[in-house]
Amino acid sequence: MMHFVHVLLAAIFWFYVFLFLLAPIALKMRFRLRAKIKVSAIQVKDLPEAARAYLEGRVAEFGKWNFELVSYVNLGNVTPPVGAYMALLSNSFTAEWADATFIVSPVRRYGYFEFITRCSEQLQIDTNTAPSVPVFFSVPEHPTFRFPQIDDVFKLYRIHRMLVTEIARGALPVLPSTGEELVELERRLERYGAWQQKHGFMSLDAAGENYRLTWKGAILGAWRSIWPISMFRAWRRWMENRAILDRVGASG
């Protein structure tokens, strides 16, 4: 019996040794992030059926809180081979963004929605319902809060407003000029890769078209997604979310 336990422990040990060695190599080889992102406005009829069903429903819910549709957007393949479609909205009374996004990947299809308050290039607060803990690295000036357990637009908006009040400390939000929304969306998406490059997690390929992971980025990114590290990160997010929900009185 003891021999079997020793063999099992040795097998688990070597499995994790190879996993921690090979996972960064695999991630580095396959990961791409577009350096220049070109989004395009599309008609609702041109959306894939699953994306249309999800996005139209969310647009109707956002409308109850004075968020008006700017455009349906094809985000293309920001990280090949993953595609995405978005309903981009804005609130001219509060100068806030909102969007609903539908992700199409070879592995799964899912939607999430979010609110964004941008006060300056140095301060932007995002609150969304994205289902997964991100593998890569957050931009400190753009704190992002994820509540995958929430499916109610107004409940998420209450949480977002509380977080904005706590973090922005009176800084006023801004929106781009009418007609410049998609240009601002592209810029907002592109700055993520630039920040990763600045801090040594990614680098531009020779053609200047895609960001590739550096070894630093690949090792940290891969290890963050391996159990039990991934479990600990999910647990930590759950604890942080519960504290926020308790503060806003939305834990029930």
Could you give the CA distance from residue 207 to residue 211 in angstroms, rounded to a whole number? 10
Question: Rounded to two decimals, what is the model's pTM?
Answer: 0.89
Residue 252's pLDDT band, with cuts at 50, 70 and 90, is low
Query: Does the pLDDT at position 251 exceed 70?
Result: no
Q: For residue range 92-149, list pLDDT tens digits in order.
A: 999 999 999 999 988 889 999 999 999 988 899 999 999 877 777 888 888 999 999 9
pLDDT digits (tens, 9 = 90+) for 185-235: 999 889 889 999 999 999 999 888 999 999 999 999 999 988 888 888 889
Beta bridge partner(s), residue 128: 114, 146
Going from the C-alpha of 24 to that of each of 27, 30, 157, 213, 226, the distances in angstroms are 5, 10, 37, 10, 11
Q: How far apart are CA 74 and CA 122, in angstroms?
A: 27
Report whether 88 contacts 99 (CB < 8 A): yes
Residue 249, pLDDT above cutoff 90: no
3-state secondary structure of 35: coil
Neighbours of 191 (CB within 10 A): 15
Q: Hey, what long-range contacts does 126-133 have (CB within 8 A, 24 or more apart)? A: 127/156, 127/159, 127/160, 127/163, 128/156, 129/156, 133/230, 133/233, 133/234, 133/237
For 20-74, what is each residue's pLDDT tens digit?
Answer: 889 999 999 999 999 998 999 999 999 999 999 999 999 999 999 999 999 999 9
pLDDT for 133: 72
Using DSSP bridges, classify how beta strands 144-146 and 123-128 pair: parallel, antiparallel or unpaired.
Answer: parallel
* Angle subtended at Cα 35 by Cα 100 and Cα 70, rounded to the nearest 5 degrees: 30
Instruction: Check whether 2 has a pLDDT greater than 90.
Output: no
**Total residues belonging to the chain:** 252
Residue 18 confidence (pLDDT): 84
pLDDT at site 156:
96
The pLDDT-based confidence of 248 (bands split at 50, 70, 90) is confident
Section 222-250 average pLDDT: 87
